[in-house]
């Protein structure tokens, strides 16, 4: 055993050393983010403190307390030191939105084993549910000049958007219950495109969605007269919803329903023979997963103040599926890591790399052919990262683990031994 292995084992068993290392790492990275004008590297390292916390050996309760302190105090405070405050918070907010959506898709794909390629449709349903009534668009088909609704209704529409998306999830599930595998993926892909096309053309004969022009000037949320207009304000809304989503997913994962989903994923025939209702189990998976996406659709519409069908394309559904597969299907921490990593790569890392290469090219330091321009290389680099992860981590960055049940729970206690009475041979031969 090498010295590195000995240090790793010692650190794993020494909780004091873990907390010291975590505090020092967090303080250094937080100070770097606060003092520097803009540093993508420092901000990424600060977010990595959450990953470092996951690998500590603290109890789940202590981990949750430390995570809340990092999310609600350390990260916002450290990001507020310079002019890039809203830029940092925009990335963190987008991470939260995509994490919630990926967790919803993880219920459908990771737990129930139903490959859904049109998941962004539920995101669109939630966004348009709020966008239509938070603008004067609803006056086109509801008389009375009652719209737009005030920003105070945003909090109710979070639930309404989740409910509407859940209804559409059931409507999607009903016709596809008889198909599975590749055919299910094709049907759900078609469903996602149908929803986008409907929103794109639903401006006649009654103008409901305003078609390709989209909905603008969507009312921002307000609470007790306080308007939410900046990314750092939406950050706290997203974190609050995300915590509820994570808690719900964790509870569902180890519930009777969660075990039913996993049984259906492994073998539908065996699950049905054990008394699991396939139709109801699949529909609940579609509904719950879609509702999480719909809730974040409402937040997205309020934050952007403008939505149109181009925000809900097939590439968005594919990106969310990549987040689930990259992190680890069926793994809640893995999906959180995968969604955060993909979002940060697309919004910050690869964008900053592209800008840096463009500057070098404009200054004449390097010459890049048009076929290998930085903007084109951005997708190439992202694809190579996905390929490398698939090769070296085929089960995802954090693979799903089955919950360990103590032996005493299974046997009924350390001193109880249950013996199965032997059946006489004659009874087997003659059941009468």
Domain spans, the chain? 1-82, 90-325
275-287 burial, b at 16+ Cβ within 10 Å, e below that, comes to: ebeeeebbbbbbb
Look at phi and psi of residue 46 and say left if phi exceeds 0, alpha if psi is from -120 to 50, else beta: alpha
Per-residue pLDDT 10s for the chain (432 aa) are 566 666 667 777 778 888 989 999 999 999 999 988 778 888 889 999 999 999 888 888 999 999 999 999 999 999 887 778 888 899 999 999 999 999 999 999 999 988 888 899 999 999 999 999 999 988 888 887 888 888 889 999 999 999 999 999 998 888 877 787 788 888 889 988 999 999 999 888 888 988 889 898 899 998 887 888 888 889 999 999 999 999 999 999 989 999 999 999 988 889 989 999 988 999 999 999 999 999 999 999 999 989 999 989 888 999 999 999 999 998 999 999 999 999 998 888 888 777 777 777 777 777 766 666 666 777 788 888 889 988 998 888 998 877 666 555 545 555 554 444 444 444 444 443
Cβ–Cβ under 8 Å, residues 306 and 214 = yes
Q: Is 362 exposed, middle or buried (0-12, 13-18, 19+ CB in 10 A)?
A: exposed
Query: pLDDT value at position 151?
Result: 87
DSSP letter (8 states) at residue 228: -
Query: pLDDT value at position 338?
Result: 92
Give the number of other CB atoms < 10 A from CB of residue 236: 16
Rounded CA separation 218/64 (Å): 35
**To which residue do tokens 């000049």 refer?**
145
Rounded CA separation 340/95 (Å): 5
Query: pLDDT value at position 4?
Result: 60
Residue of 176, 13, 46, 111 lying closest to 334 (CA atoms): 111
3-class DSSP state of 286: helix
Query: pLDDT value at position 431?
Result: 42
Residue of 92, 90, 118 lying closest to 104 (CA atoms): 118
DSSP letter (8 states) at residue 150: P
Give the number of other CB atoms < 10 A from CB of residue 239: 18
* 181 phi, psi to nearest 5 deg: 65, -135
Tell me how far the alpha carbon of residue 48 is from its chain's centroid: 17
Cβ–Cβ under 8 Å, residues 291 and 104 = yes
**Encoding tokens for residue 12?**
């794993």
Query: pLDDT value at position 430?
Result: 44
Residue of 236, 247, 326, 338 lying closest to 292 (CA atoms): 247
Helices (H) and strands (E) in the chain, counts: 19, 4
Query: pLDDT value at position 350?
Result: 81
**To which residue do tokens 């919004």 refer?**
347
Cβ–Cβ under 8 Å, residues 222 and 151 = yes
Tell me how far the alpha carbon of residue 387 is from its chain's centroid: 21
* 404 phi, psi to nearest 5 deg: -85, 130
Task: Give me Rg for the CA atoms of the chain.
Answer: 25
Cβ–Cβ under 8 Å, residues 351 and 388 = no
């Amino acid at each position: 055993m090498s010295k590195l292995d000995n240090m790793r084992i010692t650190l794993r068993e020494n909780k004091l050393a873990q907390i010291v290392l975590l505090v020092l790492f967090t303080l250094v990275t937080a100070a770097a983010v606060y003092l520097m004008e803009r540093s993508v590297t420092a901000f990424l390292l600060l977010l990595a403190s959450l990953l470092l916390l996951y690998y500590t050996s603290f109890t789940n309760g202590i981990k949750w307390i430390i995570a809340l302190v990092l999310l609600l105090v350390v990260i916002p405070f450290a990001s507020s030191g310079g002019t890039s405050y809203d830029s940092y918070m925009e990335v963190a907010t987008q991470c939260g939105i995509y994490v919630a959506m990926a967790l919803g898709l993880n219920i459908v794909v990771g737990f129930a084993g139903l490959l859904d390629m049109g998941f962004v449709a539920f995101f669109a349903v939630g966004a348009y549910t709020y966008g239509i009534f938070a603008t004067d668009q609803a006056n086109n088909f509801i008389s009375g000049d009652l719209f737009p609704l005030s920003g105070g209704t945003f909090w109710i529409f979070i639930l309404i958007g989740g409910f509407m998306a859940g209804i559409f999830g059931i409507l999607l599930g009903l016709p596809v219950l008889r198909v599975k595998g590749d055919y299910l993926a094709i049907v759900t892909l078609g469903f996602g495109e149908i929803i986008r096309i409907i929103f794109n053309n639903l401006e006649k004969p009654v103008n409901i969605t305003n078609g390709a022009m989209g909905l603008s000037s969507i009312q921002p949320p307000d609470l007790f007269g306080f308007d939410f207009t900046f990314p750092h304000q939406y950050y706290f809304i997203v974190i609050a919803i995300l915590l509820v989503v994570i808690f719900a997913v964790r509870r569902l994962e180890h519930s009777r329903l969660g075990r039913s989903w996993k049984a259906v994923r492994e073998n539908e025939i065996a699950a049905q023979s054990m008394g699991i209702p396939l139709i109801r189990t699949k529909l609940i998976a579609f509904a719950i997963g879609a509702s999480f996406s719909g809730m974040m659709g409402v937040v997205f519409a309020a934050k952007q103040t403008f939505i149109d069908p181009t925000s809900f394309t097939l590439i968005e559904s594919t990106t969310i599926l990549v987040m689930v597969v990259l992190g680890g299907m069926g793994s809640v921490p893995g999906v959180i890591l995968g969604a955060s990593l993909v979002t940060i790569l697309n919004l910050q890392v690869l964008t900053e790399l592209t800008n840096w290469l463009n500057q070098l090219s404009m200054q004449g330091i390097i010459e890049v052919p048009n076929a290998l321009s930085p903007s084109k290389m951005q997708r190439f680099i992202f694809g190579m990262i996905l390929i490398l992860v698939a090769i070296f981590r085929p089960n995802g960055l954090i693979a799903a683990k089955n919950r360990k049940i103590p032996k005493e729970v299974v046997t009924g206690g350390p001193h109880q031994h249950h013996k199965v009475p032997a059946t006489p041979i004659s009874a087997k031969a003659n059941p009468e």
